[in-house]
Amino acid sequence: MPCFKRPRAKVGRMLVTGVFACACTLAAADEFDVVNFTAGATMLYDDNVFRLSGGADPNRFLGTSRRDDLLTVTSAGIRINKPVSLQRFELDASYNEFRYQRFGQLSYGAFNYLGTWRWSVTPRFNGSLSTERRQSLRSFIDFIGFVRNLRTDETTRFSAEYRLDGAWRLIGGATAYEGRNSQPFLAQQDLRQDSFEGGVRYEYASGSFLSAVVRGTSGAFINRPAPAAASLVDTGFADRELEGRMAWLFSAKSRLDARLTWLERKHDNFAQRDYSGLAGNAVLTWGVSAKTRVRTTFSRDLLSFQLASSSYNRVQRVALEPEWQVSAKVLARARVEHSTREFLGPVAVTPQNGRVDRLTGWYGGVDWQPRRYVTLSASLQGDRRSSTVPGLDFRSTQAVLSAQFTF
């Protein structure tokens, strides 16, 4: 059952407006430096915007022999962080303008925000209420098309924690989520879902913790008034999850964060689309020295992806991310990762049955902060996909230069 009345967008705007007004008024009264304004400019060169395979002829799909483009992004925003007695109000809002030089049909503007009220009734009873909006261009790794498909995600979250005697905590929360595409996309449809969770957490004096949570989710696919028997596309679903989490601090700079979840999804009408299994991740952060840190990530996810050839994906990923603080003003970062994506739960016999994709990526970048309010960045990254389905392989490289200002 829904936990928040619709429309969600109105709830989000009300909370953001309230946080903004309260924090700005209080900030102007005594601590104006809790308000920061941001501005930025980015140039990104992408040599394969639509992730075409090496053998594909761009003229056939794009009307040009070029598959590369130069993207410019300009942004302006505001950040607020204001404590008031036991409460804290936070806001991070920005407007971002994306302009493609060659493929102008992809250009768009996006207003994104995250507003949070970290509430506290007493030092032992506290939590948070937040609302978030994110809009971005759908990746052409999945969306096979040559038009702009914007994904808009709106999320409202409520969480609460009650500290019992000793190290035990009672935890719970609710989340309302809505995601929409600007173009039809059957594999990942428009949807609305509500989640409730409750559990316990045990906290050690060192900051390490163990927790267990039971979560239930009820979801509905938007703009689908009736189930489609021919394609086995349903109108709704229900998830049940049992999740354990831990964080173990070995030292001030090294820690292990891990999550293990048993997930079960059942659809309202078509059991052929149901799936279940284990998901989770482990992130080991190792402080090699005072200036060097290495993060290693292992993850396994089960994600809905509804086509005739699949109902869900099983994605397994490993990544290595070193960081080197070259000096007080210069940070160098790198990443190498490899993932395997299996398309499971087919509901018909198609040439894509049994599809498996392998994606390898790399990244290298440098951040330079010549002044407290200026950050200059440069990076280079590449991706390569191989697939058991002919025509889905691709290679791409992106080069990025950006400048961010905070004042």
Q: How far is CA 344 from CA 54, 386, 390, in A?
A: 26, 17, 18
CA angle 343/344/349 to nearest 5° reads 95
**Given the DSSP bridges, would you call strands 356-371 and 330-344 parallel, antiparallel or unpaired?**
antiparallel
Domain count, the chain: 1
Q: Is residue 77 part of a domain?
A: yes
Q: Is residue 327 part of a domain?
A: no
The rounded distance, in Å, linking the Cα atoms of 211 and 201 is: 4
Rg over alpha carbons for the chain, rounded to the nearest Å, is 23
Contact yes or no for 265/245 (Cβ under 8 A): no
Q: Is residue 31 part of a domain?
A: yes
Q: Residue 225 has what pLDDT? A: 75
* pLDDT above 90 (res 396): yes
* pLDDT above 90 (res 334): yes
Q: Is residue 35 part of a domain?
A: yes
The rounded distance, in Å, linking the Cα atoms of 407 and 405 is: 7
The rounded distance, in Å, linking the Cα atoms of 168 and 154 is: 32
10 Å CB burial of residue 341 (0-12, 13-18, 19+) is: buried
CATH number, position 138? 2.40.160
**In the chain, what percentage of residues exceed pLDDT 70?**
92
CA angle 83/3/23 to nearest 5° reads 20
Question: Which of 223-232, 253-262, 279-288 shows the lowest mean pLDDT across its residues?
Answer: 223-232
Q: Residue 16 has what pLDDT? A: 52
Centre a 10 Å sphere on the Cβ of residue 327 and count the other Cβ atoms it contains: 9
Q: Residue 144 has what pLDDT? A: 85
Return the bridge partners of 332, or none.
324, 366
- Per-residue pLDDT band at 133 (split at 50, 70, 90): very high
Q: What residues make up the domain containing 398?
A: 8-253+366-406
Over residues 350-372, the pLDDT tens digits come to 999 999 999 999 999 999 999 99
Structure tokens at 399: 């080069």
10 Å CB burial of residue 306 (0-12, 13-18, 19+) is: buried
Over residues 134-190, the pLDDT tens digits come to 999 999 999 888 999 999 999 999 999 999 988 999 999 999 999 999 999 988 999
The rounded distance, in Å, linking the Cα atoms of 36 and 27 is: 11
Mean pLDDT of the chain: 92
Structure tokens at 364: 């290298």
Q: Is residue 108 part of a domain?
A: yes
The rounded distance, in Å, linking the Cα atoms of 274 and 239 is: 10
Structure tokens at 325: 């603080």
Q: Is residue 359 part of a domain?
A: no
The rounded distance, in Å, linking the Cα atoms of 351 and 388 is: 10
Over residues 15-48, the pLDDT tens digits come to 555 545 444 444 433 334 689 999 999 999 999 9
Q: Residue 33 has what pLDDT? A: 63
10 Å CB burial of residue 122 (0-12, 13-18, 19+) is: exposed
Q: What is the pTM of this model?
A: 0.88
Report CA 145 to chain centroid distance, whole Å: 22
Q: Is residue 220 part of a domain?
A: yes
Q: Is residue 386 part of a domain?
A: yes
